[in-house]
Structure 1
Amino acid sequence: MTRTNQTKFPSVLRARLRKTSKNYSLNAFGGRTLALKWHIVLLVAGALLPVVLFAVAVVQRLSFSERASSQRRLVIAARNLTQDLEREVSSTTRTLQALAASDKLDQGDLKAFYKEAQRTVQTQPTWLSVILLTPDKRQVLNTFRPFGTLLPLANEPESVQRVVETQQPTVGYLAFARAKRQWAFPVRVPVVRNGKLQYVLTAIISSESLTHTIKNQPRIDGEWTRTVVDGHGIVVARTLHPERFMGKPGTPSFLKRIAATSEGVYRETTLEGAQVYVAFKRANFSNWTTAVVVAVDVIESPARRAMWLVVGSGLALLLVSGVGALVLSQWISQGITEAATAAEALAKGEYTRISPSTIEEVALLGEALEFSANLLSQRERERDEHLKQVEAARAEAEAANRLKDEFLITVSHELRTPLNAIFGWAQLLRGGKLNQEKTQNAIATIERNAKAQAQLVNDLLDTSRIILGKLRLETQPLNLATVIISAIDSMRHAAEVKDIDLQVQLTNVEPVLGDQNRLQQVVWNLLANAVKFTPQGGWVEVQLQQVDSLVEVRVRDTGVGIKAEFLPYVFERFRQADGSTTREYGGLGLGLAIVRHLVELHGGTVQADSDGEGKGATFTMKLPVIARQESISTPPITSANGTYKNSDKLKNVRVLVVDDDPDARDLVSAILMQQGAEVCTCASAAQALNKVFDWKPAVILCDIGMPLEDGYDFIRKVRDWESDVDVHIPAIAVTAFAREEDKMKAIASGYQMHIPKPLEPTHLADVVASLVARN
């Protein structure tokens, strides 16, 4: 036997043993054997099965029962808090009803009634004032104001209207009492004489007093906080940090829960960011709700204690099992050692008979050694096949790396090409020696190349989202005719420049479920691809039709066509039919890959067909229809090539622009000042905050990514200041952070709108004007 065969011999034995193993068999001596793997299975099962069963029984029993009991106590606490709140409101209502029965109102002596109301307010420590209103919401008297003072309409008219409609007492909603400079809510009762509503008598109750009331109620073990919200979900009273959260809505999940049911308990993240259990109960008036919150640790600590008990017991059991396994392994290893000695002797050309063993693998070893030569030969063949596979995989990886290198070179070229035109014409414009015609041509060239570069960046971002799985759709029923018309409108100019005839054939089809922007991007990419590869004077045809339950969009062209060998790769990323430096057509080769991914996300398919070079190409997209009862109308299509013009839509409007980039500040200022706005710019959040206090702008435009302090921190400080001075300044986040999650974060921080860079001047001016009009 050769030295190579001797080296490989043990691995061949292991392979043979794996193939010949069975559960039970009879050895050459007639004894019954048990496979080695079953010895190991019994060993592991004997050590771990008691631990697993014990852990499941103890943890489930303790955690489930204790958690259910704690949740029941929470619900009872919430009910008790609701009853206390209802008693407070009932006491206030009875006192108001007694005051409403005053004969001073019957006599029309409002001045005497005013004094009587003042005395009543002095006896009620939770009342701020008493207000008498007419059914049309005008204040007749207010104990906080001198009698006869001209008074405004009701601060919170919704509950007044409810009293007028039902002629029943009601509790209103939280509102900021400017005269008292604190939060309060009204309790209103009708004043009825001779079956007719004469007045609405109101007691204004301080929310701080309600906070003191619920703080004095009996507490439960581990309680975190107690909260009372009004019918709009606004925090009225809170035992923990009331000054921070009063007047603000509860968390979205809490509001969703209380809207769905009148009582319950669930796990929640509080406004402070703590993990808690929340029990809530709705009151029997005006959809007010109380909530009792307990930290998760209080509820779940018994389960953790049970887990420690399980771990300790399990370790003890494992120790016992380990000792048993050690004894058993010594008995097993004796037979394996004898088998190994025999195999080593056989590798040297000697033969040693293996003693009878209860382990099947050892008993079968003699038979396995007889086939060793054949197994060695088979292993050699397998190794050769494996080497071939490795070489093929290496070649494929090298090809992928070449594609990526070519793609990076293409990216650099495609990004630099529009930059060359932009930079060059900008330098010529700066020189001021161009005539009117050349100036207009320079501006058009800069704009065209800027849009081209923006499209390249968008394709790269979309490809990144696709690779990371973060591309999301906002679907709705759509008429594909609308999508096609919009895409054609945006491509018409490019086709006219090349004298390409755009032909459209649209038929009535059923609606599809899709994202309008993304489907328009698909059709636009297909059209742009057709126009790009169609020579001067050619034609591009777009067809819309329905075949059974599929809507088909077909884009045909008379362009350069697709080579047969490249057709299978036309939708792959980083693939281009011509990747050389002498290629005739630009682009990154990402558009069709994005098309395929977007269509597949919509549950459809897209395919490419071509008879070869110079014979044009056809791209066919198929989407499934949806069943709908109502028809989908086609909204009017507006041109995408809008022109920015000066106007006075922002005349005398104060706008504060905050951006650390001076070029960005200058651009935004120029756009707004051309619309008549009065603009002030700041380079940092700290400087802008002082300007907000002193200048008090009508609108704020702020960048997000700034040094030292970003736009999120800035707007939060502005909103905190506004709550103190009772003003509100609308704000827009103008930023290069353009993802959907960036938009949601900006809105959550306090901005009303989010506009991504690069800016469209007309769109920016329209958004600012709409915010001013809305405010």
Structure 2
Amino acid sequence: MAVVFSRQQRDAFEQRYLERVRAMRIALDRELEGHISALRVLSHSEYLASGDLRGFYEQLHRVQTEQPAWSTVALLERNGTQLFNLHQPFGAPLPKSAVEVALLARVAASGEPAVTPLVKGAVSQAYTTAIVLPVQLRGAGTRLLVLALDSPVWLRFVSSIPVIPGATMTLLDQNGLVIARTLNPERWVGGRVSAVLYAKSRETPEAAYRNVGLEGQWFYTAHSRSTISGWTMATGVPVQDVERQLRGSTVAMTAGATLMAALAVALALVFGRRISQPVAALAQSAAALERGEQPPPAFTTPIAEISEVARAFDAAAKRLRAREIGLRESEAESRRLAAERARLLENERAAREEAEHANRIKDEFLATLSHELRTPLNAVFGWARTLRNEHVDPAMMMKGLESIERNSMAQVRLVEDLLDISRIVTGKVRLDVRAVDLAAVIESGVDAIRPAAAGKHIDVQTMLGPSVGTIMGDGDRLQQIVWNLVSNAVKFTPRDGRVQIRAVSPGRQQSHARARWIGSRPGARQAPGRAARRLGRRRQRGRGPRSDVHRAAADRIRRRATAGGARAFGRLDAGSRGGRIAQRRACARRRRRARHARSVPIRARPHRRRGRDGRIGGGGAGATRAAPPGRDPLRHRNAGRGRLHADPPRAPAERAARRRCARRGGHRLWSRRGPRALAGGGLRHAHHEAGRARGARRRRGEPRQAFVAMKRSTERFLTTHTGSLPRPDDLIRMMFAREEGVPVDAAALAARVSAAVDEVVQRQVECGLDVVNDGEMSKPSYATYIKDRLHGFGGQSRPLVYQDLAEFPELARRVFGDPGRSRRRTPACTGPISVRDPHAAEADAEVVKAALAHVKATDGFLSAASPGVISLFFRNDHYRSHEAYLEAIAEAMRHEYETIARAGLIVQIDCPDLAMGRHIQYAGLGLEDFRKAARLHIDALNHATANIPPEQLRMHVCWGNYEGPHHYDVPLADIIDLVFTARPAGISFEAANPRHGHEWAVFERVKLPDGKVLIPGVIESKTNYIEHPELVAQRIGRYASLVGRERVIAGTDCGFGTWVGQAAVDPGVAWAKMRSLAEGARLASGAFWGERQRR
């Protein structure tokens, strides 16, 4: 048995060595294919097409500086004559090439590349290998492009795989000569290997066997021959090392067998006891049952007869216990039924009383409503009958018409109030929030009530503080609130009284006990469930309703308001009228400057805006104040602000969540009314992800992030685009100069970028886009801009090879013939990555926010490169692995993502690597291997955005914004499940171009996860066709029918200025496409929301 075991172990060792050498052979093939691909790209050089050998020579010199493995590159004729060699200056006399003429002729005839055996270079006189590729030289026919790779290059290659001491890894050419060897390379390079290894390598492509090495010792040898080059990769492990391991395994097995024998003896003793013990236990059970006691617990035994008797004893004991338990349960059930009967009777009585109470309140409400509706109609009806008399004098007619008009307006207002209450209850109230001059609103509301006050000789005074300025709110609703407050004050103030209206900015002093405020004042934590009543103050002179009539009227109004809306909108004052105050209070809660509409003063916060210096400016004098040292200006801006609530009354879970919100600072947004109650969706909490990460940031003193939810298509289809837009010509020239290292005035460039952003934002809104951005005016491209914002990049990265364009060289020359391509810099990663310019993203955000302040856009976003696409464009020459490289990029880009989010903008992460990487970066991998790489990229993205809510993130996935065949594009169905695992809620992707226009059908089989929003491209970004609006509407409708209209935002396939200077689409056509996008979204909205959306 030991001999068999030893032989099996030896076979396993040989198989392991064979698998290792096979992996090295595959790596060798990929290395050679990479060099051949690079030569194929060079073979399409425009210098060869034009016959310019000197230009081609200089181009090869530039490429060689980026390829340290290349020893030299030469251009040969078929007879081996060298036209030039990078080892010598152009035009210098050169000897004949060392490559065999027969091989050169074979390559020229077949048109396919070939790899040469080991030769001595004609110029360098060093051992080298070469890759030969036929090329076409204009006017001269076929010539041969030869790439020389010296032996040290292959020595580094075979040394990249670690081997045990004494073992060797050897690379052989087609003739059995040693190209590289890890053991004594300086001695054996150029020599022939052992006869056994050479004979075996010629007989079979792969094998494992014993062999005598070049140094005379015995090896376990394995080899694998390449089908591409004919080279052979071999490895050898000393026999004594393998035998030492085999001896250890054999000794271990012998010791194990001895131990098993000892264990068998022990088991025999144990089994003997297991036979005697059950018999004794059975006797004890029989004795206990005879005495009427509880027998011992049942036991198990392999003896069937003893087990049967034990089960009989156990069954008898269980029957006795069951009878006792049944008797006790019967008594308990009788008591439970009696209690249940009493509870049901009590519930029935309470339900009957509640129904009677609700019916009584309904009757009171209907009676009051009938009275309120009938009162103005009586006046209109009476004056109408009076005016039908032909003898009415003009004065009487004018008085009657005025009365009819006044009562008609009162009727209209009452109906509007009822409609508003209905909208609030159903969650359909809409507010037109904009900058409002609070002083003008108050004066307008007061002026409307002055005639009524003058009739009672009441002095109405407005006392507006100097800091009252502009606030964000609905002007019409605020004016209604002011009118209601002042109207109630005048109504319940006796004749010759006085009413004062004050509006002051919230400060440190609190004037009256009734003017309570709830919010996140610095240093204070207050319960979020209290009503925020700090709106202002109505100071009323007089004693208010004194008589029984007044008190009865006040009670009646309170009951009516409670019946009409108190259940939905909380407690009301006696001065409220028919639920109108409840309506105004609920509307006010939905504004960012929350105000409660009680019969208390209006206290309004001026509209404030943070400037570039971190100060917070107000609308009135003295309203500007800076954030305290060490405090985030964004967080300090929310100090003193009330939390935003939307009724109905909260459930216990929501109250607990609100208390947590108060402890965290109290400036999050909450709603249970859906997207129409607040500009978000459903009950949403900004802390629901990455809570522990936020706690760590607070302990480190980092600033708090603002929560901004991405808008949904709640009333119509929103429109947006991918990011880049056409840039002005002068800005392009300035960016090219900066890319080429020419000094550019930073202030002038920043001013031009700011002006360009203003223009492009204005133009987006004019075209009808809802969610707009800066057009990437400050960036040379969507990805390579990071070289100016992060440390660790330098030199020059190798050019990317596009798998689809490699098959169409003429098209590749036209696509890569972009005049700006040679002027763009794409360095490699040469050092540790860290943040270099921490203010660049903040400057971009401030510029676009300043532009958004002058337009009426639904939302704003900024784009940023994903860790994966950065790794695609910038070769890693520093980190030990791709995973480490991604992790470093993610840590560095976290700052930019969070800066954009903190500015209150939507963050778009550009992730073309998740699709385009399939035919560029990972063209040599299978689908499953590519998916594994894509998972790494998504993990890095999720890590970098962990502190940003998903609702503030969207991602863009595309297959490359270039006009190519794209026949190697990975299907959307093969990656959509991976895309769903990314954190961003919005998913933008190509859906309009001919290669991917059919993939809307993917969502017939794939369910869109909860919380995700699709942003399909319904406008193509590579051609100058202007899509018809009806086609755009059809594309939008397909997705909306599958995933729901509120989960679709219309977008574009990709950008119209992905790289600075790139002009695949004419700028004028690009803007016309945007207008067609907006028109198509309008048509689709009419189909999904009704004809009113088409107007």
Q: Name the TM-score, length of structure 2 as normaliser.
A: 0.23
Larger strand percent:
1
- Higher-Rg structure is 2
Q: Which has the higher contact order (CA 8 A, sep 6+)?
A: 1
Q: Name the TM-score, length of structure 1 as normaliser.
A: 0.32
